[in-house]
Chains A and B, each alone.
Chain A
Amino acid sequence: MADRIGIRKAGNAGTAAPGLVITTGGNDLLHTQALTTVQTITFPARTFIIRKVMWYVPLALGNVTLDIGTLNAVPALVNRLPTILCLAGFDGELREADLPAVEFIAAAPLAAAAVRFDGNAYVLSQAAGVAVAGVLVAIEVEEFGA
């Protein structure tokens, strides 16, 4: 992957403003993929790799976990990164060197339902296995394609 040159940008989804997501307790969009439609067929025109994740957990929430992944055909969150444990009252970040080059890509139209991922990045915040709202998350992505 390293020899490809991509576009670096902040995640394009956001609760407060584009790029900054405040979790709601559901699967919250972090970044939406660029798609293209040619003669009724929608193609994943680009893919992206998450290059940085930053977060802040308000003290009142207690420790939380962040699951970052994409949605399958159900739709349900499918982790693409290991679960991240975040301490209450602290901020934290994972940089490019810490993150695996997991490439987010949408499924082809005829892919089997089980692997029909939408290719967008989502985050789910939970405390002791129960979804919680209010964690601040921002990501940086590198998009590849044309």
Chain B
Amino acid sequence: MEISGIYDSGPISPVAKIHENLGILTEGKYRYFNISYIEGLPRSRPFIIDMVALNNAANIGAYAQLNAQVVTAISPGGSDKMKEFLHLRWEPLDDVEGFLFELNNQGRYSAAGVFASVTRFSRDQDPFLAATTFFVMGVDKDATIGAYNPNAVVLPRARFVFWGYRYLVSPLDTKPAVATELPATSAVY
């Protein structure tokens, strides 16, 4: 098994090369895929999501949270034979905190009963935001983002920006001899 090193402190880079194998923890166990293609998703305007707008809300209230499937930008596509797999990091652009859920109710970045969030301060100790790394696999396993306003005042915006890589992967019937196993994707039971 290869070590993926996805949380190493440094800029984001692909976890494996084209034609290498990935073991992805999804639906309760590691499933194996071969990588056909990788491309970058640079940090850019189309990958900025405003949770206020996504909720059709006027604003985000003081100490309020808005949740939504982040379908517009980071819902991967694919079929049974070829799936899209997204490898992302993210941070808020406004003074809000981000919570990540996969399959709507699966809180990520958590110890028992306590959920960490991604904040404007996260860069202080983690300049490349390696600890915010997450993966989204296939269809109907989108990420749900919760935006929390820790301020005592209403904010008009709750924007988050995402960047990373997009992989096209083909499922393998059997476990290959060598694969990079990723300890995180949607639906970690």
A residues whose Cβ falls under 8 Å from a Cβ of B: 5, 7, 9, 12-13, 18, 32-37, 45-46, 120, 145-146
Contacts and interface: CB of A to CB of B under 8 A. Distances in A.
B121 A33 contact: no
B151 A34 contact: yes
B111 interface: no
Contacts of B152: 12, 32-35, 120
A7 B63 contact: no
Nearest to A18: B153
Contacts of B77: none
Interface string B26-65: 0000000000000000000000000000000000000100
Given A7-B95, A9-B95, A37-B63, A45 B121 contact: no
Contact of A146 (B63, B121, B153): B121
23 contacts: A5-B121, A5-B124, A7-B120, A7-B121, A9-B95, A12-B151, A12-B152, A13-B153, A18-B153, A32-B151, A32-B152, A32-B153, A34-B150, A34-B151, A34-B152, A35-B63, A35-B150, A35-B152, A36-B63, A36-B150, A45-B150, A146-B119, A146-B121
A13 B121 CA distance: 22
A146 B119 CA distance: 7
Interface in B103-139: 119-121, 124
Nearest to A7: B120
Interface residues of B, number: 10
Given A7-B95, A37-B63, A12 B153 contact: yes
B131 to A, nearest CB: 13
Interface in B70-119: 95, 119
Given A34-B150, A34-B152, 11 more contacts: A9-B95, A12-B151, A12-B153, A13-B153, A18-B153, A32-B152, A35-B152, A36-B63, A36-B150, A37-B63, A46-B150
Contacts of A146: 119, 121
Contacts of B121: 5, 7, 145-146
B116 to A, nearest CB: 9
Interface string B147-160: 00011110000000
